């Protein structure tokens, strides 16, 4: 099964506990585009019932894409269907080709013959099955202090520890597959496995390179692994560059923006030059993402804008915790006027 099919299968598995209702429809990359007109043209509205299957998921995307092309004259960059918010509802994230969209340069797909053995793919599949179960149940909490994620759910934690045991014995193969395999499914699994290796410059370099893989899931897994590593505060975090993830904030793919925010939420804690580059390259994108309706997805952008506005970290976290997003955005808006 190729990575795109795996992604859809994962989406359908998560859908098992969804309410079959659209909770939010949000956009990104839309500067210069009339989103009110586009929202009216899309044949789905917030609150609509939404039963998903392999067939309907494809049809939904096609209908949204046709509406985007009719209104904007060009195709959507992404139609992300995300399950689920805290109410069990679906979220739609629609990527547009406005001024705030910049296509990131991806590396050509490799053609190497290296592959993971079936046992390694089974480890990754088992991990994904348990991860989807915990997300669906709303129990997906984890400990990232070791530089790799360990769930508080016993079954998922066991699957993660099996991945770590495998990569500790087979890191050279995992690195080769991630860097050179011509099979996207194998690179996707390798990116997740490599996140469980002992931290090294070679590991970080390979994961950073994988953030420019043509495969969305490869990029997603590699970026998430780096985000967990950065959040741990360990020695490896200092070797993670901010540049690739700042570029991701203007990507046309929702998972790029989502995981780029994850990494930068940690890399900006010390502020400094990273904040200056964000001001220059991603201000519009951050404001767009800060207005997303789901707090889990919008709050990292709100935090970055608060840091850019110079709000004291303790006060910033309190404002976020108490839902005072407008106060933060008002302070950040002054950056645009200056």
CA angle 92, 260, 134 (to 5 degrees): 60
Q: Which residue has the higher pLDDT, 119 or 49?
A: 119
Nearest to 107 by CA among 171, 2, 182: 182
Nearest to 305 by CA among 250, 325, 245, 103: 325
163 φ, ψ to 5°? -65, -40
Under the banding of pLDDT at 50, 70 and 90, the label for residue 15 is low
* Length of the chain in terms of residues written: 338
Which tokens is 148 given? Answer: 């790799």
Summarised one tens digit per residue, pLDDT across range 186-216 is: 999 999 999 999 999 999 999 999 999 999 9
Tell me which residue has tokens 């053609």: 111
Under the banding of pLDDT at 50, 70 and 90, the label for residue 1 is very low
Specify whether the CB–CB gap between 133 and 198 falls below 8 A.
no
Q: Tell me, what's the pLDDT at 6? A: 46
Summarised one tens digit per residue, pLDDT across range 208-223 is: 999 999 999 999 999 9
Tell me how far apart the alpha carbons of residues 247 and 135 are, in angstroms, rounded to a whole number.
Answer: 28
Specify whether the CB–CB gap between 109 and 256 falls below 8 A.
no
Tell me which residue has tokens 């139609």: 79
Which tokens is 98 given? Answer: 């406005």
Q: pTM of this prediction?
A: 0.92
Provide CATH 3.10.20.310 ranges for the chain. 3-95
- Residues 6+ away with beta carbon under 8 Å from 227: 259, 262, 263, 265, 266
Specify whether the CB–CB gap between 305 and 44 falls below 8 A.
no
CATH number corresponding to 3-95? 3.10.20.310
Percentage, residues of the chain above pLDDT 70: 93
Summarised one tens digit per residue, pLDDT across range 294-326 is: 999 999 999 999 999 999 999 999 999 999 999
Average pLDDT score over residue span 139-146 = 86
């Amino acid at each position: 099964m190729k990575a795109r099919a795996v992604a859809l299968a994962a989406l359908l598995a998560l859908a098992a506990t969804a309410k079959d209702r659209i909770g939010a429809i949000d956009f990104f990359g839309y500067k210069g585009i009339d989103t009110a007109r586009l929202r009216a043209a899309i044949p789905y509205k917030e609150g609509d019932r939404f039963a998903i299957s392999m067939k309907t998921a494809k049809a939904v995307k096609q209908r949204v894409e046709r509406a985007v092309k009719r209104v904007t004259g060009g195709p959507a960059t992404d139609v992300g269907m995300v399950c689920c918010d805290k109410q069990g509802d679906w979220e739609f994230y629609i990527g547009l080709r406005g001024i705030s969209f910049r296509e990131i340069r991806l590396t050509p797909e490799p053609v190497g013959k290296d592959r993971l053995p079936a046992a390694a793919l089974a480890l990754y599949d088992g991990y994904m099955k348990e991860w989807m179960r915990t997300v669906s149940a709303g129990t997906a909490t984890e400990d990232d202090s070791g530089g790799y994620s360990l769930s508080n759910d016993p079954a998922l934690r066991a699957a993660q520890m099996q991945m770590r045991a495998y990569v500790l014995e087979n890191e050279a193969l995992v690195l080769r597959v991630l860097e050179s395999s011509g099979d996207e499914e194998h690179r996707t699994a390798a990116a997740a496995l490599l996140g469980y290796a002992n931290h090294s410059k070679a590991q970080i370099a390979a994961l950073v390179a994988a953030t420019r893989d043509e495969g969305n899931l490869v990029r997603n897994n590699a970026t998430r692994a780096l985000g967990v590593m950065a959040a741990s505060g360990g020695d490896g975090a200092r070797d993670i560059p901010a540049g690739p993830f700042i570029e991701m904030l203007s990507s046309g793919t929702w998972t790029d923006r989502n995981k780029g925010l994850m990494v930068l939420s940690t890399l900006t804690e010390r502020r400094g030059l990273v904040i200056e580059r964000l001001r220059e390259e991603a201000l519009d994108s951050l404001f767009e993402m800060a207005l997303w309706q789901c707090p889990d997805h919008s709050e990292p952008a709100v935090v970055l804008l608060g840091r850019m506005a110079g709000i004291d970290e303790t006060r910033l976290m309190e404002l976020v915790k108490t839902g005072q997003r407008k106060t933060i955005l008002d302070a950040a808006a002054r950056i645009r006027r200056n």
